[in-house]
Amino acid sequence: MSIRLYSKGGAGEVTGSRHYLETGNSTIQIDCGAFQGRRKEAEEKNRSITLDTANIDAVVLTHAHFDHSGMLPLLPKGGYRGNIYATPASRDLASLIMLDSAKIQARDIEYLSKKAKRDGKEFDGTALYDEKDALQAVDQFVTISYHRPILISPEVQLTLYDAGHILGSSLAVMDIKTDGAGSTNGDGLRIAFSGDLGRKNKPIIRDPEPIPDPDYLVMESTYGDRLHQDTDDALKKLEEIVSSTARKGGKVIIPAFAVERTQELIYHLHLLTDRGKIPEIPIFIDSPMATNATAIFRVHPECYDKETHEAFIQHHRNPFGFNNLHYTASVAESKEINNLKGPAIIISADGMCEAGRIRHHLANNIQDPDNCILVVGYMAAHTLGRRIVERQKQVKIFNETYNLRARVEKINAFSAHADYSEIRDYITRMDLDRLKKVFLVHGEEQPQKHLKRVLLEAGVKAVESIAYGESYRLA
């Protein structure tokens, strides 16, 4: 039996994850993500996606982030009628994300059409997919809980393990029946896909759990050359940023992804407020998707860790709701925040500042030195978020130039991705005699080079970065 691996996204870059495992009898697709980054470049890349739906036998979704789930509706649109396997929480979050994307695309097409008409031009653009396609994708989900093996093709058994990245995230372990050739133990070949690997001691969700020892591991490498801050130090820094900004009467503007990062921030701010560590100032969650995602978090307590149960659930308290917290729904409510006098915290999407309401809040607050822009996640190259992190003196928002006078701070500890030390520790607990090779995906060139060196020094036999479209024979 010939078994090979290749990637059509998330190879040599951080977004757009789309990997394939071919067994000779079946083709399994792992994730179907959208590219994120500069709007024009991301749009071009997403429009160039082609899916060989006639030859896909099963699809596995490791988790619901847009760069892993955002292009799933292209599968049914292209004729795929098979199953999409995921955890229940991933299904619910992916449903929200896909439908939101479809609505945004529809609005964009309507705007561009009207603009072309006003300019006396023809416009023939179409959305990548619509709500019907997204709903069809949701209808094709088959949900499986962690540790529940299921045959997804005659020779491939899938088992999901908690990746500790976001609610419902999973490592996908595939046991392939073979004739014994190519496997260390002679009873088949085991290939594991990390999706995005999380971190220990994160709030709300459980730690990444160990998996059965694989023959091959496909591992993300987002932070392959970085170490995160200690969580306790990060909370002290968050406390200092909020308190010092509030004393000046300023606002803390936090660009945050609607899924996971926003909920984690709410959790931390709730605890800091309860403990009297930060002043009681208004906290606005200005993102309809974040509001809806938080509702999904509430209905999946089976994914919570022990600490969350002890701190909130046992006492019948809502970890995502307290007196200072306000969820805005309408555009009018969002605009009212800009008229607010005095200190406040504003958490808004998009996490890389390329879309969403966050751009309006940045435009209104970026030139005031009393304010603080707090970056709590990865910013891809060439995005507005990256330019702010780099503290460029001037940035463009809505094609207008703004002077960056606000304080800019970054807290790495809130990242949901493991750093290179955490990835090394996770992998070296595996049977390195059995592990033939680690394939690196979902990372830029420099982080992958560094992580490769770290893993080889730790005793991993072989490490290779997957190149876009290149095929790797496993057996």
pLDDT digits (tens, 9 = 90+) for 257-269: 888 899 999 999 9
3-class DSSP state for residue 217?
strand
Handedness of CA 348, 353, 359, 365 (dihedral sign): positive
The answer to whether 380 and 389 have CB atoms below 8 angstroms apart is no
- Its pTM stands at 0.88
Domain definitions of the chain by residue range? 4-226+416-473, 231-414
Phi, psi (degrees; rounded to nearest 5) at 284 = -110, 130
pLDDT confidence of residue 187:
67
Query: Ramachandran region of residue 229, left (φ > 0), alpha (ψ -120 to 50) or beta?
Result: beta
Residues facing 55 on adjacent strands: none
pLDDT confidence of residue 282:
96
Answer yes or no: CATH 1.20.1600.10 is held by domain 4-226+416-473. no
Mean per-residue pLDDT, 372-398: 92
pLDDT in tens, 432-443: 999 999 999 999
Q: Is the pLDDT of residue 24 over 80?
A: yes
pLDDT in tens, 320-363: 888 889 999 889 999 999 889 999 999 998 888 988 899 999 99
Query: Which amino acid, residue 337?
Result: I
For the chain, the distance separating the N- and C-terminal CA atoms, rounded to the nearest angstrom, is 7
CA distance 148 to 168: 14
The answer to whether 208 and 429 have CB atoms below 8 angstroms apart is no
Q: Is the pLDDT of residue 184 over 50?
A: no
pLDDT confidence of residue 87:
98
Handedness of CA 97, 260, 371, 389 (dihedral sign): negative
Same fold, 4-226+416-473 and 231-414: no
Task: For residue 156, give the H/E element and its range.
Answer: strand 156-162
The band of 455, judged by pLDDT with boundaries at 50, 70 and 90, is: very high
Task: Tally Cβ neighbours within 10 Å of residue 103.
Answer: 15
Phi, psi (degrees; rounded to nearest 5) at 260 = 85, -60
Percent of the chain with pLDDT over 90: 77
Spacing of C-alpha 395 from chain mean position: 25
Q: Is the pLDDT of residue 300 over 60?
A: yes
Mean per-residue pLDDT, 112-123: 86
pLDDT in tens, 26-54: 999 999 999 987 778 888 999 999 999 99
Nearest C-alpha neighbor of 25 from the set 176, 224, 198, 238: 176
Q: Is the pLDDT of residue 245 over 50?
A: yes
The band of 183, judged by pLDDT with boundaries at 50, 70 and 90, is: very low
- At what angle are helices 288-298 and 88-118 packed, to 10 degrees? 170
Residues facing 172 on adjacent strands: 160, 193
Q: Is the pLDDT of residue 186 over 90?
A: no
Q: CATH top-level class for 231-414?
A: alpha beta
pLDDT confidence of residue 446:
97
Q: Is the pLDDT of residue 182 over 50?
A: no
pLDDT in tens, 301-322: 999 999 888 877 776 677 888 8
Nearest C-alpha neighbor of 251 from the set 149, 369, 82, 138: 369
In the 8-state DSSP scheme, what is residue 469?
T
Q: Is the pLDDT of residue 65 over 80?
A: yes
Q: Is the pLDDT of residue 179 over 70?
A: no
Q: Is the pLDDT of residue 180 over 70?
A: no
Mean per-residue pLDDT, 108-132: 89
Nearest C-alpha neighbor of 380 from the set 8, 10, 6, 7: 10
